[in-house]
């Protein structure tokens, strides 16, 4: 039982550390969502050295000549370029117009002013999620390395389960708030940021994977706590039953009453027989009668003090008949 309990503790701790690593990785990266933004190509400037696909070149020094621009549009010249972007909780980055490097800006300033409160709540919830997750992991580590009182270990286990469950709930709320804030920014955000196409990226997957590992860790911890409590209650019930049996045996006067009492209290299942055996030893054919033999020895010692030998023979005969009847 102890080895199985320690294995469950190690599994819960491993899942907790995995969730913590994934959560930190998701929070510190800016690939929660990515996509493309359609922008108009600028006019090419400078000498013609190489063919440039990200700008429009024309043979004129007057860049304000609207007739040239109209001519390019009417001939079907591709005047748009798709610039890739990626967004996280902290930053939103977009490719430069020449397709080399990228330009980043704070996502708080990109979001609409009336939706920044939701984004701030998302940031606070994500930080609390990581903090509570780390606290639960520390408590689990102390419990795994703790070799003292079992009751103290159960207390650590209970607090670790509470912190882990709370962190999982906060993480779920934080991820959903970011999803809401991003979708509102796509609809109501500035025109120079609105994407043409977008989808969730690997940082978003890391965040929800962290939530999954966190909830698996909390379920394992709660299951371990509940199973340990049930095992203790089962053992306590068996110990109390044994004590009641011994107390009743001491109160009985004749061996016949002792035998009837003991037989009526024999466990009905193999599991109870194993629990009643001491130090995990296997039960032999006569092990359930050990306590009875001890009690009978005491009764025989008392009977030997009697002067009437026929009473002793009667008692032995009665016990033998009871044994054959059972």
Residues 194-240: tens digit of each pLDDT? 888 899 999 999 999 999 999 999 998 888 878 777 777 777 777 77
Three-class SS state of 63: coil
Residue ranges of alpha helices (H) inside the chain are 2-27, 66-74, 107-110, 116-144, 150-188, 202-251, 255-264, 270-276, 290-304, 309-325
Average pLDDT for 89-94 = 90
pLDDT at 277: 46
Domain-by-domain residue ranges, the chain? 2-41+79-231, 253-325
pLDDT at 153: 76
Characterize the bridge pairing of strands 91-95 and 33-40: unpaired
Give the range with max mean pLDDT: 21-30, 76-85, 227-236: 21-30
Residue, of 274 and 107, whose pLDDT is higher = 107
User: Are 23 and 147 contacting, i.e. CB atoms less than 8 angstroms apart?
Assistant: no
Residue, of 243 and 197, whose pLDDT is higher = 197
Residue, of 190 and 230, whose pLDDT is higher = 190
> Confidence band (pLDDT; 50, 70, 90) for 169?
very high
Task: Give pTM, 2 decimals.
Answer: 0.64
Cβ neighbours of residue 45 under 8 Å, at least 6 residues apart? Answer: 55
Which of 97-101, 188-192, 254-258, 269-273 is predicted with the least confidence, judged by mean pLDDT? 269-273
For the chain, the average pLDDT equals: 74
In order of 204, 295, 302, the CA distances from 315 in angstroms are 82, 14, 12
Average pLDDT for 166-195 = 91
Average pLDDT for 167-193 = 91
Residue, of 155 and 178, whose pLDDT is higher = 178
Query: What's the 3-state SS for 181-195?
Result: HHHHHHHHCCCCCCC
Domain 2-41+79-231 has CATH 1.20.1070.10: no
Q: For residue 92, give the nearest of 102, 82, 106, 111 by alpha carbon.
A: 106
């Amino acid at each position: 039982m102890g080895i199985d309990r320690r294995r469950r503790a190690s599994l819960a701790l491993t899942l907790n550390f995995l969730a913590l690593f994934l959560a930190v990785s998701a929070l510190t990266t800016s690939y929660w969502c990515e996509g493309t933004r359609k922008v108009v190509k600028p006019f090419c400037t400078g000498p013609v050295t190489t063919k440039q696909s990200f700008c429009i070149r024309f043979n004129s020094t007057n860049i304000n000549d609207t007739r040239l621009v109209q001519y390019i549009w009417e001939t079907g010249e591709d005047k748009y370029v798709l610039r890739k972007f990626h967004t996280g909780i902290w930053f939103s980055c977009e490719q430069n117009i020449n397709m080399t490097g990228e330009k980043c800006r704070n996502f708080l300033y990109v979001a609409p002013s009336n939706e920044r409160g939701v984004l701030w709540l998302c940031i606070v919830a994500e930080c609390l999620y990581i903090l509570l997750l780390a606290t639960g992991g520390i408590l689990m580590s102390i419990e795994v390395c703790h070799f003292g009182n079992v009751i103290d270990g159960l207390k650590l286990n209970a607090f670790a389960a509470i912190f882990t469950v709370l962190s999982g709930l906060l993480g779920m709320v934080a991820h959903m708030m970011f999803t809401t804030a991003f979708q509102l920014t796509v609809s109501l955000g500035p025109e120079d940021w609105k994407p043409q196409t977008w989808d969730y990226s690997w940082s978003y997957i890391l965040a929800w994977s962290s939530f999954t590992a966190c909830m698996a860790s909390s379920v394992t911890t709660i299951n371990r706590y509940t199973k340990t409590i049930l095992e203790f209650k089962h053992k306590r019930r068996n110990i109390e039953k044994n004590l009641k049996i011994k107390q009743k045996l001491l109160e009985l006067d004749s061996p016949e009453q002792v035998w009837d009492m003991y037989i009526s209290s024999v466990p009905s299942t193999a599991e109870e027989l194993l629990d009643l055996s001491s130090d995990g030893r296997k039960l032999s054919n006569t092990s359930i009668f050990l306590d009875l033999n001890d009690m009978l020895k005491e009764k025989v010692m008392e009977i030997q003090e009697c002067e009437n030998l026929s009473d002793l023979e009667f008692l032995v005969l009665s016990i033998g008949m009871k044994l054959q009847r059972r």
